[in-house]
A and B are shown apart, each in its own frame.
Chain A
Amino acid sequence: MKAQAVFPRANRSLSNAGNHALFLFYSSKWGYASVTTTANPDKSADIIVVGSGGAALVAAITAAAKGGRVLLLERSSKFGGTTAYSGGKVWIPNNHHMQSLGIADSIEAAKEYILRITGGEFPHMIDSFLKFGPEMVDFVERITPLRFYACTKFPDYQPQFPGGTTGGRVLDPIPYDASRLGSTLEKIRRSPIFLPFIQTEWEQWRSPVNFDWELIGERVRRNIFTTGAALVAALVQGCLDLGVQMLTGSRVLRLTQEGDRITGVEAEQDGGTIRYQAHRGVIIASGGFEWNRELTRNFLRGPEQGAASPPWNEGDGLLMGAEVGARLANTSEAWWVPVVQIPGEEADGKPLFRTLIAERGLPGSMIVNQRGRRFVNESHNYNDISKLFHVSDPNTLEYPNIPAWFIFDEAFHKKYSVTTIMPGERVPSWVTTAPSPAELAAKLGIDEQGLTETITRFNANAKMGKDPEFQRGDSVYDHYYGDPSAVFNPNLAPLEEGPYYAIPVLPGTMGTKGGLLTDEKGRVLNWRKKVIPGLCAAGNIASFWAGGGYAGPGASIGPAMTFGYVCSLTLMSAEGGSARA
């Protein structure tokens, strides 16, 4: 893949000669010398950022805003990383948007909630996140075109825990006109899953039957982005405005050192290897390792059979960090989510795995295992229910919940969508269909009696608006993705209208969240828990102090962006990255 440079905004209006002159200027600014010092680097910068998702982009913007010369290196042909594939929500307790709306929150309440969710192993990291998160939001909204609004009705994932809230902490990007990026637009990775509407629009429309399809089509036509793509596009614009040099097709594989200090990187680029020197430090924000089968088999707590992320997340950052002695932590965990694979669907050249999020809470559906039994409250948050896929049967040493099956009836199909199957429209042949539950079970090869009994029992309880087995439909979070107009309960309805449908559901991730252990300043620590000078990490490659927990929508991107900000504050400070912990 040929490396391509995206030059800062100032270049765009110049002639070729002018651009060449500016290239020479920037070349000298960034030290594109052919021979320097004993390391003999080809190029240099104050800060090198590896990756281009939310953490990386905020890190680059922060460092540039503090006066640093910043070089951002992206392995693939497009910017955006996992953030671009995502719903783009950013979870920041006590943010100024919720404050201006009068929604109560506090650092103390948020800390109490996070400690409960995460198990509290890294309280200093939680303190840093809660302190710098709101500051980061203020900063990016001041410095870049990115703007948020607070989702006032989107609850935390366990809102019933002390300190949990039922809305306000989740920030959603306002639609962004990405055509402003000009030729750089083609370098922005877009989600293969999300359509361009925002959360409050979905809250109003609910079913695709009510979507404003003309508005959505117009946004597609005019390159008006929402969700993760909007976040990325606006932050990339911010990078360009601040003079960050950004390269695609540059895969960083190694860190360079002098003594114990990180001095730069080596990147695979244009068929060769190029060394870049970092005068202040390197920030690794290159994403997780969910597409590296060897690493996922070795590290994760259970099977992971599909990743809803770009296939470039193969743990480059993990390997290069480990090579210089970085301590690893939390590597057994991931941002778990049930996924569905539509046969033949691909994104970026690899199978596409779609997340099963909104469908699971809708009435008239359930998820069953090979025995035809439900095993969880399907409406609960995707991270915590996915852990049930990893239950192993000690009698058979197998995982009885893999694969699972998302079952729904014709009444459900007429009203709601499932992945790309629109309400009432033709159900494609990859969905298993049968006139009765018993015949459906026979086609699926699962226990017929089990499924029939499960549906019979579920239906009887659903008509009373209850799920005594798993308490589906009892919580605020469950109701958020339910149907407020449903007769018995927003999340419960009997499955009694044939035909019946089934789609296989797999244990998936939106990314791993274990990796290089950092301190509250984003500095990577070695196995003795001493700072490795000149090295910081943020995002999924940094060991997430969240443990196995997921605090709320955007509780991956929110901390990722926050620690991208913190890393650059650290490296651009007078102390820089040289101090030991």
Chain B
Amino acid sequence: MPEALVQSVVACPIAKVWQFIDQFQNWASLMPGFQSLQQTDSQRSIWTLRSDAGIFQRLVRFEVQTTERHEPNRIIFNMKAMDEQLEGGGSFNTRALDAEKTEITLHLFLEMGGMLRPVGNALLESMLPRDAQTLANSVHRALEERAATETPS
């Protein structure tokens, strides 16, 4: 199954990291290809992403649901496309390195089903690591910007 794992260290306390990643609205827009998010309830939302992979260059709507929350260390979610045979998910795992630094591990996985599976998965194999890195970098940047604005003068 196509997947990607990105690990990074952010200069931000683990509590702040958790506050950020616990709410989809904070980081969904940082997903590559993000178009819109519609919150259905506290655990579920519908994300519209633009896929830019080979012969699949179109808008894809995903139903995203949190399946596990373990404050402050882990949040797991799944993603299921509403009009395509595309299913996957991901997680953020966090570990406090010290009072001000947190290690974040982002895991993303996505798999195409149906007849186009070998083609779709071949494209996802090259796309997911790139997109996961982009998302991780954006989350990292957003957290550090938040930390900078919240620092007392």
Contact = CB atoms under 8 A, between A and B. Distances in A.
Contacts of B58: 342, 344-346, 352
Nearest to B60: A344
A213 B125 contact: no
A422 B118 contact: no
Contacts of A428: 83-84
Nearest to B52: A346
B122 A220 contact: yes
Interface in A330-344: 342-344
A213 B54 contact: no
Contacts of A345: 57-59
B57 A347 contact: yes
A425 B116 CA distance: 10
A425 B114 contact: yes
Nearest to A211: B115
Interface residues of A, number: 30
Given A422-B116, A428-B83, A429-B83, A217 B57 contact: no
Contacts of A193: 55
A428 B59 CA distance: 13
A246 B59 CA distance: 34
A157 B46 CA distance: 47
B119 interface: yes
A191 B55 CA distance: 7
A426 interface: yes
A306 to B, nearest CB: 15
B130 to A, nearest CB: 12
Given A344-B59, A422-B114, A217 B54 contact: no
A336 B117 CA distance: 32
B33 to A, nearest CB: 11
Most buried by A among B84, B85, B122: B122
A220 B116 contact: no
Interface in B95-136: 114-119, 121-123, 125-126
Contacts of A208: 115
Interface residues of B, number: 20
A217 B115 contact: no
Contact of A192 (B50, B55, B122, B126): B55
Nearest to B113: A425
Interface string A182-223: 000000001111110000000000001101011011101100
A325 interface: no
A123 interface: no
Given A190-B54, A221-B125, A426-B85, A216 B118 contact: yes
Contacts of B115: 208-209, 211, 213, 422-423, 425
Contacts of A194: 55
Contacts of A423: 115
Contacts of B121: 217
Contacts of B59: 343-345
Contact of A352 (B57, B83, B114, B118): B57
Nearest to A426: B85
A116 B122 CA distance: 46
B5 to A, nearest CB: 20
A423 B114 CA distance: 10
Interface string A398-441: 00000000000000000000001011011011000000000000
Contacts of B55: 191-195, 420
B133 to A, nearest CB: 17
Given A220-B123, A426-B85, A213 B57 contact: no
Contacts of A422: 114-116
A221 B122 contact: yes
Interface string A17-42: 00000000000000000000000000
A220 B83 contact: no
A147 B50 CA distance: 36
A358 to B, nearest CB: 15
By CB atoms of chain B within 10 A, which of A190, A208, A425, A429 has the most? Answer: A425
Contact of A214 (B50, B116, B118, B125): B118
Contacts of B119: 195, 213, 216-217, 220
Looking at B85, B118, B123, the one whose CB has the most chain A CB atoms below 10 A away is: B118
Interface string A87-130: 00000000000000000000000000000000000000000000
A344 B55 CA distance: 13
A220 B57 contact: no
Q: Which of B114, B116, B126 is most buried by chain A, counting CB atoms within 10 A of its CB?
A: B116
Contacts of B83: 426, 428-429
A192 B54 contact: yes
A345 B114 CA distance: 20
B85 A425 contact: yes
Contacts of A347: 57
Contacts of A344: 58-59
A214 to B, nearest CB: 5
Nearest to A427: B83
A220 B55 CA distance: 10
A217 B85 contact: no
A193 B84 CA distance: 17
Nearest to A422: B115
A220 B57 CA distance: 15
A557 B82 CA distance: 39
Contacts of A343: 59
Indicate the member of B50, B54, B115, B125 with the most A CB atoms within 10 Å: B115
A5 B118 CA distance: 35
9 contacts: A214-B118, A217-B118, A218-B122, A220-B118, A221-B122, A425-B85, A425-B114, A428-B84, A429-B83
Per CB-CB distance, the 4 closest pairs between chain A and chain B, nearest first, are A217-B118, A344-B59, A220-B122, A345-B58
Interface of B: 50, 54-55, 57-59, 83-85, 114-119, 121-123, 125-126
Interface of A: 190-195, 208-209, 211, 213-214, 216-218, 220-221, 342-347, 352, 420, 422-423, 425-426, 428-429
Given A220-B119, A425-B115, 4 more contacts: A190-B54, A345-B57, A346-B50, A428-B84
